[in-house]
Amino acid sequence: MNERFAPQLIAWQRRHGRHDLPWQASRDPYAIWVSEIMLQQTQVETVVPYYQRFMARLPDVAALAMASEDEVLALWSGLGYYSRARNLHRAAGIVMREFGGAFPREFDAIQGLPGIGRSTAAAIAAFAYDERRAILDGNVKRVFCRIFGVEGWPGEKAVENRLWALAEGLLPDTGIAAYSQGLMDLGATLCRRGRPDCVRCPFADECVANRQGRQAELPAARPRKALPERHTTMLLFVHAGEILLEKRPPTGIWGGLWSLPECSAEADPAACARRFGFETRPLAALPKLTHTFTHFRLHIQPQPLSVARRPARLNEPGRLWLPLADAGEAALPTPVRKLIEQLEAGGGPA
C-alpha cells in the first residue's frame, strides 16, 4: 500500500482534484504564501474572496511591507485568527530587509519567518519550488489517520510524530506539487470530517476506517473540555452620526483591531461613560451576542449610548470617531461589525 499510495494519489488528483483555485495558476511564492496562511484553520470557500481582495490591494511582498497594519487587518477583517495577518505583515518586512524583497528559497529560511510552521513552509516549498517536502495540515492528518488506521488524537505529540514519520515515508520522488495538492483535495472534498464520501475515494478498498466502519472514530477527537464563559459590555457611543472606536492592544484577542469600548458586565454603562468624560442617554438596546473563540466563549451585552455633547477632542491616540456608515470599512472583529451593522440598520442614533 505504501508504495502505491503516492502514484495513486497523483493520478487521482490530476483527474479529479481541484485545479481552478485562484492561487493555483501561479508559482509565485508570495501568492502561495498568502494563500497558505489564509487557509490555516479556514475553509477554501471562505478564503477565496478574501484572497482575491487581498491580492488586488497588495499584489506583492513590497506592497504588503509598505502597507500599514491597519490596512492589512482591514483586508483580513472577518477572516479570524488575526495573528496570522500580523505575522504576515511582519514577515513581509523581514523579506524586504533581510532578503532584498525576494521570498527566500531555502526551507529553513521560509520556516523562520513569523507565522510559518513546518507544514506551511513545506507547502510553499513544494508548490513554488518543487521541493520534496512533507505537509501535515488538519486535512492531511485526517486522511492519514483513516487510511492507515492511526489511533489517538493528532494533537498529542506522540501521535503527531507518528503522522510526520508516515508523511515523510510516503513522499514521491517526483510530482510533489500534484501529490501535496492531492492530499489537500482528498481531505477537503472526499475524506471530510463529517459525511466522508468513501464511495468515490481512490483508497476505499485499502482504507482502515472504511473497511472497519470507523470513519467517525478516526481520527480520534480532541479530549472534551468545557469552555470558560466570559461576559462583557460593549459601549456603542454615538454622536452626530459618528461612533467611537478603540484600538485593541497589539497582543491578545483581536490584537491591533479597532473595537468598541468595554466595561465589566456588572458595571453601570452610564458610569463607564463618565470615565470617558461623556454624559449620555441610553438608546434602544441591541440583542446580546455570543462569540466562541478556541479557548473560551464570550457573551457580549451591547449598550448603545447617545453622547449628549460633542467631545472637545474628537480623536485621541487609540480612539477614533468615524461616521456610522464608514465604520464597517475599519479593521473590526466580526462581532463588533455585526453590532455596528445592527445599530445602523435600526436607523442609527436619533
Q: pLDDT tens, 308-332?
A: 876 666 567 899 999 998 998 899 9
- Please tell me whether the overall predicted TM-score, pTM, comes out greater than 0.85 for this model: yes
pLDDT at 1 exceeding the cut of 90:
no
The sign of the dihedral angle between the CA atoms of 238, 243, 248, 254 is: positive
pLDDT at 243 exceeding the cut of 90:
yes
pLDDT digits (tens, 9 = 90+) for 121-159: 999 999 999 999 999 999 999 999 999 999 999 999 999
End-to-end CA distance of the chain: 70
Residues of the chain with CATH 1.10.340.30: 2-212
| pLDDT reported for residue 311 | 65
pLDDT digits (tens, 9 = 90+) for 69-126: 999 999 999 999 999 999 999 999 999 999 999 999 999 999 999 999 999 999 999 9
Does residue 36 have an active-site annotation?
Answer: yes
Q: Which amino acid is at 337?
A: R
Q: CATH code for 229-345?
A: 3.90.79.10
Q: CATH code for 2-212?
A: 1.10.340.30
pLDDT digits (tens, 9 = 90+) for 263-285: 999 999 989 998 888 889 999 98
Angle, alpha carbons 240-242-247 (nearest 5°): 145
| Grid cell of 303 as nine digits | 449598550
**Alpha carbons 94 and 85: distance in angstroms, whole number:** 14
3-state SS class at 302: strand
Closest CA to 135 of 111, 182, 167, 113: 167
Closest CA to 243 of 333, 341, 104: 341
Residues of the chain with CATH 3.90.79.10: 229-345
Candidate list 3, 36, 217, 316, residue with the active-site label:
36
Q: Please check whether residue 187 is in contact with residue 219, taking contact to mean a CB–CB distance below 8 angstroms.
A: no
